[in-house]
Amino acid sequence: MVIARSSYCTGCCACGDVCRFGAITMVYDDEGFLVPGINTSKCVKCNQCVNVCPANSFTSKNDNIISSYACWSNDTESRISSSSGGIFSVLASWIFQNNGVVYGAAFDESFHVKHGRAENMNELELLKKSKYIQSEMISVYPMIKKDCEQGKLVLFVGTPCQVSALYNYLGYDYEKLYTCDLICHGVGSTGYFVDCLGYLQKNFKSKVTEVVFREKSKGYNKPHLIIRFENGRMYKQFLYYSIFGHSFTKSFSVRKSCIECKYATVPRFGNFTLGDYSGKVYVNFNFNEIKRGISTLLINNMKAQLVFEEISDKIFAKKVDVDYIITTSNRLKGISLKTLEERDEFFAEYKSLDVKEIIQKYDMPSREEIRNFKYSGKWNGSVLQLIHKIVYRVKRHIS
Ligand SMILES: Cc1cc2nc3c(=O)[nH]c(=O)nc-3n(C[C@H](O)[C@H](O)[C@H](O)COP(=O)(O)OP(=O)(O)OC[C@H]3O[C@@H](n4cnc5c(N)ncnc54)[C@H](O)[C@@H]3O)c2cc1C
């Protein structure tokens, strides 16, 4: 029994949830990703799993994107504690005000990421912030279906493959269901991430208590990976040079299906799309605004447009041309990550080498790489910011 080609499987877990015979259990493979394990003695070959699998049916109900924005939440505290501009929290707050529930991804006690449900802003805290490993969706689809059938207002946020799987599972676009997909680089290996934490725990001689992938105290465009330990110590490194962060951002440790992701394109699958805004319109924003974080928000259909109008007093939004947003984001242009060979090499070594050797080889960039990176344009944001800051201060001084 084959549900989908293994290189297409996104690990969305919909097949496990749809199987009424308990024949499918999600298990971690030797690369550290969730895959379906089939118990052939229980399988009745009903093909429900094949039909629900988003790798087998690829159609978005949306037409062209209606509008797109560089935007942020007017609630500065919430914005700073989010990955980009805090728009997820604004959408969630609107849902709660209308007695709805929100589904998003949270760490569990063993630092696996799982989708969970929040009924209020306190519960939402765990769902905030990007976690760059795959979120487990086991048993989540039936929960959402139950909420929808009870007529609840529901917001689901996840990777586009998860949003697509959700629609396949439900088989119906409930009026009160709102979905938001993320512009997604890809998901990193849970197995490797947990191994990295184990390595750090040994070195720091203490248990990990908190992980933040995009800490913004040095600015939104200089995200830092922060890992806190029970003994009060902390690992802090620029995300692109950090343990796990380096191999993830270079796409070595991402899931195979993410390399040529079918969802890294338009039209989108969710009513909304959220991402990190990094376009040039940047330089027209005040330095402090850039530091606090800016989201890309795509309004993909009329359902989203109506909500956008309702939340418009809670956000600052600058309209940006859709084509411009698409051209500045590889993950909307349908471009593959072009690192298949390096990825396969990474995982071949991951399976045979000690985690310390993998970290030394793939997660400790050389000085030359750091120098090249600084001059590669990725830091241009900071140079432009600096110029902007000087101009801004001079203008303020003159006036
Ligand atoms: C794995 C991953 C890769 C991403 N890659 C890009 C990218 O290449 N380019 C880009 O522009 N933006 C990317 N993003 C999106 C971006 O980092 C922010 O999540 C988005 O801008 C929303 O930020 P926010 O400030 O509005 O809210 P936040 O509070 O930061 O919201 C984060 C949202 O993402 C959800 N989420 C977190 N982790 C996961 C996960 N593992 N799986 C599914 N959902 C999750 C949370 O539940 C929450 O809804 C990525 C996000 C993730 C999770």
Does any domain span residue 203?
yes
Residues 89 and 171 in one domain: yes
Pocket of ligand 1 (CB under 6 A): 82-89, 104-105, 113, 127-133, 135, 157-159, 182-185, 187, 274-276, 295-296, 331
Candidate from 161-170, 200-209, 335-344 with smallest mean pLDDT: 335-344
> What confidence score (pLDDT) does residue 379 get?
47
Structure confidence at residue 380 as a pLDDT band (50, 70, 90): very low
- Cα(first)–Cα(last) distance of the chain, in Å? 73
Q: Tell me, in angstroms, the distance from the centre of ligand 1 to residue 205's CA.
A: 31
What are the two backbone dihedrals, phi and then psi, of residue 138, each rounded to the nearest 5 degrees? -55, 130
Q: Which residues of 321-332 are buried (b: 16+ CB within 10 A; e: fewer)?
A: ebeebbebbebb
Structure confidence at residue 385 as a pLDDT band (50, 70, 90): low
> What confidence score (pLDDT) does residue 355 get?
96
Can you tell me whether residue 317 is helix, strand or coil?
strand
> What confidence score (pLDDT) does residue 309 get?
98
Structure confidence at residue 7 as a pLDDT band (50, 70, 90): confident
- 199: containing domain: 190-253+339-382
H/E stretch holding 28 reads strand 24-28
Structure confidence at residue 79 as a pLDDT band (50, 70, 90): very high
Q: Tell me, in angstroms, the distance from the centre of ligand 1 to residue 276's CA.
A: 8
Residues 260 and 241 in one domain: no
Q: Tell me, in angstroms, the distance from the centre of ligand 1 to residue 25's CA.
A: 27
Does any domain span residue 96?
yes
Residues 178 and 93 in one domain: yes
pLDDT, the chain, mean: 92
Q: Which spans in the chain are helix H?
A: 14-18, 48-52, 76-80, 87-97, 121-124, 140-149, 160-170, 190-204, 245-249, 256-259, 287-292, 302-311, 322-327, 340-352, 355-362, 367-374, 380-398
Rounded CA gap, 75 and 95, in Å? 16
Close Cβ partners of 355 (under 8 Å, ≥ 6 residues apart) = 192, 195, 196, 198, 199
Q: Which ligand 1 atom lies nearest to the CA of residue 84?
A: 25
Q: Which ligand 1 atom lies nearest to the CA of residue 162?
A: 43
Is 375 a residue whose pLDDT tops 60?
A: no
Does any domain span residue 15?
no
Does any domain span residue 306?
yes
Q: Tell me, in angstroms, the distance from the centre of ligand 1 to residue 147's CA.
A: 23
Residues 164 and 242 in one domain: no
Asked if 18 and 145 touch (Cβ cutoff 8 Å), the reply is no
Amino acid identity of 18? V
Residues 148 and 276 in one domain: yes
Is 135 a residue whose pLDDT tops 90?
A: yes
Total number of domains constituting the chain: 2
Q: Tell me, in angstroms, the distance from the centre of ligand 1 to residue 1's CA.
A: 34
> What confidence score (pLDDT) does residue 383 get?
57
Asked if 26 and 36 touch (Cβ cutoff 8 Å), the reply is yes
Q: Tell me, in angstroms, the distance from the centre of ligand 1 to residue 23's CA.
A: 32
Do you know the residue count of the chain?
Answer: 399
Asked if 91 and 307 touch (Cβ cutoff 8 Å), the reply is yes
The more confidently predicted of residues 394 and 251 is: 251
Residues 277 and 219 in one domain: no
Q: Which ligand 1 atom lies nearest to the CA of residue 83?
A: 30
In DSSP terms, which residues pair with 110 in a beta bridge? none
Is 377 a residue whose pLDDT tops 60?
A: no
Does any domain span residue 8?
no
The more confidently predicted of residues 20 and 388 is: 20
Q: Tell me, in angstroms, the distance from the centre of ligand 1 to residue 83's CA.
A: 7
Residues 176 and 281 in one domain: yes
Residues 265 and 249 in one domain: no
Does any domain span residue 111?
yes
Residues 170 and 316 in one domain: yes
Q: Tell me, in angstroms, the distance from the centre of ligand 1 to residue 230's CA.
A: 27
Mutate which of 13, 83, 268, 335 to test ligand 1's pocket (most atoms within 8 Å of Cβ)?
Answer: 83
Rounded CA gap, 1 and 15, in Å? 12
Does any domain span residue 304?
yes
> What confidence score (pLDDT) does residue 397 get?
62
Is 360 a residue whose pLDDT tops 60?
A: yes
Residues 238 and 100 in one domain: no
**DSSP state string for 80-97:** HTSSSS-HHHHHHHHHHH
Asked if 137 and 162 touch (Cβ cutoff 8 Å), the reply is yes
Percent of the chain whose predicted confidence (pLDDT) is above 90 = 80
In DSSP terms, which residues pair with 237 in a beta bridge? 225
Rounded CA gap, 312 and 68, in Å? 13
Residues 81 and 154 in one domain: yes
Does any domain span residue 275?
yes
> What confidence score (pLDDT) does residue 118 get?
98
Q: Which ligand 1 atom lies nearest to the CA of residue 129?
A: 30
Q: Which ligand 1 atom lies nearest to the CA of residue 113?
A: 41
Percent of the chain whose predicted confidence (pLDDT) is above 70 = 93
Residues 285 and 367 in one domain: no
> What confidence score (pLDDT) does residue 382 get?
53
**What are the tens digits of pLDDT across the range 11-28?**
999 999 999 999 999 999
**Closest to 220 measured CA to CA, from 76, 395, 316, 115:** 76
> What confidence score (pLDDT) does residue 334 get?
80
Structure confidence at residue 376 as a pLDDT band (50, 70, 90): low
Structure confidence at residue 67 as a pLDDT band (50, 70, 90): very high
**What are the tens digits of pLDDT across the range 170-192?**
999 999 999 999 999 999 999 99
Structure confidence at residue 374 as a pLDDT band (50, 70, 90): low
The more confidently predicted of residues 396 and 2 is: 2
Structure confidence at residue 270 as a pLDDT band (50, 70, 90): very high
Q: Tell me, in angstroms, the distance from the centre of ligand 1 to residue 87's CA.
A: 11
Return the residue whose CA atom lies nearest to atom 24 of ligand 1.
86
Mutate which of 130, 187, 315 to test ligand 1's pocket (most atoms within 8 Å of Cβ)?
Answer: 130
